[in-house]
Amino acid sequence: MFSHSVLNPMSPQGQAISNLFIFLMIAAGALFAGLPLTLAYTLPKYRHRPGQGDPPQTYGVLKMELVWTTIPILLLIGVFGATISTMRIAQPNAIKTVDLTVIGHQWWWEYRYPNGVVAANILHIPTGRRLNVALKSADVIHSFWVPELNGKMDAVPGQTNSLWLEADKPGIYEGACVEFCGTGHAWMRLSVVAQPPAQFDAWLRQQARPARQPSTAMQKAGARLFAQYACASCHLLRGRPSNTHLGSKAVVIAPDLTHFASRPFFGGGVLDNTPANLVTWLHDPNLVKQGVHMPNFQLTPSQIHELTAYLESLT
């Protein structure tokens, strides 16, 4: 499901990083191979032979000293220059207008769009547009990385870091948290869904709608359970009366579930979003994802099926 490659860049930022990587690889590879090759040639050729006197002494010869000091300095200046220019392409100095806010949580990703849409784990972006992303953390240090699109950037509590996110072509680009952030770190994955702008706008409009009303008896029972049990004290369903209080909270505790059924996976990538998997999850989240902050509510099988029917109707 998840494949990452820095060598398959899909954005100008990714391209710059990939170019730098290849340049450094060739430069370091030339040194790595050149040194033993030089030794293999010079050691037998110039070794001491019986009857030979001392070789010519080169201590303090200015010309040689200059050559072997200048070449490494030039190499390092080249590497430094290439790195700085890549950083300028890959990351903004500071962001003036924020197009998207990404917040790392133990252990999932929250995305906030300027129009109020909140999504989790699966990040939709329009193709061909450079987005100014503000990166934050709700708890500990995480690191946001989508290898095909840009370099790694830490999400640090109490601080906002900025990065550019852009995709040349429509597609799904996999990413992950790449800073150990606790038990659930391995299941803090993400997908970037890059769509043509018109398709992205349609998605954004759809996500801005309030949660669908339950229609069947099962769904209605599930909606009641959602409000009765503590679900609604952590998970927001935009437009549902039971939990509008969460909307104004500065720090969200758990993923917004307003359009839960539209996401291909949940739990930071631990399970594909299918009714059967949701049943497994609701039975005991900790059995599926160790350390997860969602408790086991000891739901009965019929309650689990009602909740599943409701949540899977939230397209």
Q: What is the DSSP string of 141-184?
A: -EEEE-TTT---EEE-BT--EEEEE--SSSEEEEEEE-S--STT
If the CB atoms of residues 181 and 237 are measured against ligand CUA, the closer one turns out to be 181
Distance separating the N- and C-terminal Cα atoms of the chain: 22
Q: What would the two tokens of residue 44 be?
A: 């037998």
Q: Nearest approach, Cβ of 153 to ligand CUA (angstroms)?
A: 12
In the bound state with ligand CUA, the residue whose beta carbon lies nearer, of 163 and 188, is: 188
Which 3 state secondary structure label does DSSP give 72?
helix
- Kindly state whether residue 181 participates in binding ligand CUA, applying the rule CB under 6 A: yes
CB of 155 to ligand CUA, least distance (A): 8
CB of 256 to ligand CUA, least distance (A): 18
Report which secondary-structure segment, H or E, holds 282. Answer: helix 275-283
Buried b (16+ CB within 10 A) or exposed e, 226-263: bbeeebbebbbbbebeebeebeeeeebebbbbbbbeeb
Q: Does 268 bind ligand CUA (CB under 6 A)?
A: no
Nearest CB to ligand CUA, comparing residues 117 and 135:
135
Q: Per-residue b/e over 74-96, b at no fewer than 16 CB within 10 Å? A: eeeeeeeebeeebeebbbeeebe
* Amino acid at the residue 222: G
Of 16, 143, 142, 150, give the one whose Cα is nearest residue 85: 16
**Residues between 68 and 127 that touch ligand CUA (CB under 6 A):** 104, 107
Residue 142 or 235: which CB sits closer to ligand CUA?
Answer: 142
Structure tokens at 233: 């004290």
Window of 180-188, 228-236, 252-260, 284-292 that interacts with ligand CUA by CB under 6 A: 180-188
**Beta 100-105 vs 131-137: how paired, if at all?**
parallel
Site map for ligand CUA, 160-179, x if CB under 6 A?
-----------------x-x
Nearer to ligand CUA among residue 107 and residue 164 (C-beta): 107
99 vs 154 by CB, closer to ligand CUA: 154
Binding-site member from 117, 135, 188, 307 for ligand CUA (CB under 6 A) = 188
The residue within the footprint of ligand CUA, chosen from 72, 180, 197, 275 (CB under 6 A), is 180
Site map 128..147 versus ligand CUA, x via CB under 6 A: --------------x-----
Q: Decide whether 80 or 180 has the Cβ nearer to ligand CUA.
A: 180
At 210 the three-state DSSP class reads coil
Shorter beta-carbon distance to ligand CUA: residue 146 or 309: 146
CA distance 217 to 227: 16
- Return the SS3 of 243: helix
Applying CB under 6 A, the site for ligand CUA has a residue count of 9
Pick from 136, 185, 235, 263: which binds ligand CUA (CB under 6 A)? 185
Residue type at position 315:
T
Nearer to ligand CUA, 187 or 200 (CB): 187
Q: Does 259 bind ligand CUA (CB under 6 A)?
A: no
Minimum distance between the CB of residue 92 and ligand CUA, rounded to whole angstroms? 23
- Using CB under 6 A, list all residues that contact ligand CUA: 104, 107, 142, 177, 179-181, 185, 188
